[in-house]
Structure 1
């Protein structure tokens, strides 16, 4: 059989299967899954891992399975089984995208695909680790999208398994605590509080990681040297439009995106995902907030200019 025809046939089956799975996803709930797996006996863990693997490929909600894993197997084995199932599913989707569905997946991912390719090509497994810890993309779609990059398969699997651990642990324990609460087990309040504490830690991961990815602050002298040497650096002024053209004026060639509109305009900066960005405001308070926002959203070379336009003007550097 012609390889292109076989590829097309397999891809058609995959798309139909995903469509069917999505249309019935409302019936995919933790309670029904628990009843089914309870009757599987010793084969329950293997069946659970298989279901999780298939669910990841078919775009079914992993949160349902993760909670069910905690309720069925407890916090330790539940976390292990959830991680194995999620990693196998992520790997299978990755391989499908790499060898079978590249054209279709690229159409589905749209402009975000450029961000993934740029990040992976520069950072490799570190970028995979970052997007697993910081949910910039939907999990199921991300698995397919990463298959279109040149990341090494072994690096992808290892980074995926390790960096999904915090989220898997938190949601697995939440499922376990929920079942204990319903059953009225001992230490119910403590378990619920621990589950909530884990969720809070996971929620703060993006902020913490964003700070780690943010580059060191720079002085106006350092920025002036970079501009004089015609280095490819974006000067991002996050003051309001009135301030940008007001008394302090602005650095020649700077781009103005006010801080309050920056979250909605991140796509305008996609060309600088892995290129240097230096952020300027009146001093550096708003710059720090902008830098944190960019770092949390995958921008890998972001710096705050100390003292901002106030220091720039004090030095007598050119403005327009």
Structure 2
């Protein structure tokens, strides 16, 4: 019976998504406004329901969010947008968990299993990170996270809180657009505020990446940790030629050149929750590598200040 229920739910969901994709060109802000205004006092509830269902069925969230700002203003619009998006994200998460989480847990292995385990270990912090720094499409990510073992309430709370900055910015943009069409007062100030909010949201990825980086380590501190046998990855991001060149390299170091790092992240996923210390000639390439790792979910990233130049200046052995 459970299997039949899952099959029915899957087919219904697939059919709903197919219909939504086929008719998405007919789904626009004007149509939504007509539905909401026609519902009278129940308009906000209808809007949130449409937003939630649209999230499940892969309808464009940008249209809904801008429409929410235009219909309800910046304050109520933000609340309705955020609530509808969160409810939709929760539904997609629960559907994916019901339909496929057990199967994924049984069938996955190798690098994919390591990736899923890394996401699960980071839990709500990973959810918060991808909500603040949208690396993947929102609708698809809701289903993908449902296939992990992240606790539902951790997912829900992190989603609601961390989508708030984007919801405020895009809701206000919808409101400012409506005011521009209507010729409301203080139009220039409203447009400037909308642009400032968008700029703040666009800056979030860089800010979050910096926050996820640990403090820089001096070379003596790194040497002390290595001598003490601490479990950490020394990642040298110089080119292969420099790694074995005149400056040499730290005996425990692993070499992945900076230019290759984005495509070779899966090789170091075992260290996603463990300390990673980045080394280069000084520390400029290491700082760039730290931002790449932070954007990919690594939780404890440090840059070795001065790199191999300071290592050699201190007289430490190099290979």
Structure 1 residue ranges without an equivalent (≥5): none
Q: Is 1:105–1:144's contact at 8 Å kept on the other side of the alignment? A: no
Distance in 1 of aligned mates of 2:60 and 2:264 = 29
Q: Is 2:74–2:172's contact at 8 Å kept on the other side of the alignment? A: yes
Q: Is 1:21–1:58's contact at 8 Å kept on the other side of the alignment? A: yes
Distance in 2 of aligned mates of 1:138 and 1:113 = 21
**TM-score, normalization by structure 2:** 0.90
User: How many pairs align?
Assistant: 317
Distance in 2 of aligned mates of 1:112 and 1:203 = 30
1:222-237 alignment, distance < 5 Å: 222-237=221-236
Q: Is 2:56–2:91's contact at 8 Å kept on the other side of the alignment? A: yes
Q: Is 2:100–2:147's contact at 8 Å kept on the other side of the alignment? A: no
Q: Is 1:11–1:101's contact at 8 Å kept on the other side of the alignment? A: no
C-alpha deviation, 1:150, in angstroms = 2.8
Aligned to 1:118: 118
Aligned to 1:135: 134
Q: Is 2:128–2:158's contact at 8 Å kept on the other side of the alignment? A: yes
C-alpha deviation, 1:267, in angstroms = 3.4
Distance in 1 of aligned mates of 2:249 and 2:276 = 16
Aligned to 2:317: 318
Distance in 2 of aligned mates of 1:266 and 1:63 = 31
Say whether 1:268 aligns with 2:267.
yes
Q: Is 1:116–1:146's contact at 8 Å kept on the other side of the alignment? A: no
Distance in 1 of aligned mates of 2:151 and 2:234 = 34
CA deviation profile, 1:83-131 (whole Å, cap 9, x unmatched): 11011001111111222233688899x977753542332x332332222
Distance in 2 of aligned mates of 1:183 and 1:117 = 51
Moved more, 276-285 or 145-154: 145-154
Distance in 1 of aligned mates of 2:22 and 2:222 = 54
Q: Is 1:119–1:274's contact at 8 Å kept on the other side of the alignment? A: no
**TM-score, normalization by structure 1:** 0.90
Cα RMSD over matched residues?
2.4
Q: Is 1:97–1:105's contact at 8 Å kept on the other side of the alignment? A: no
Moved more, 302-311 or 289-298: 289-298
C-alpha deviation, 1:164, in angstroms = 0.7
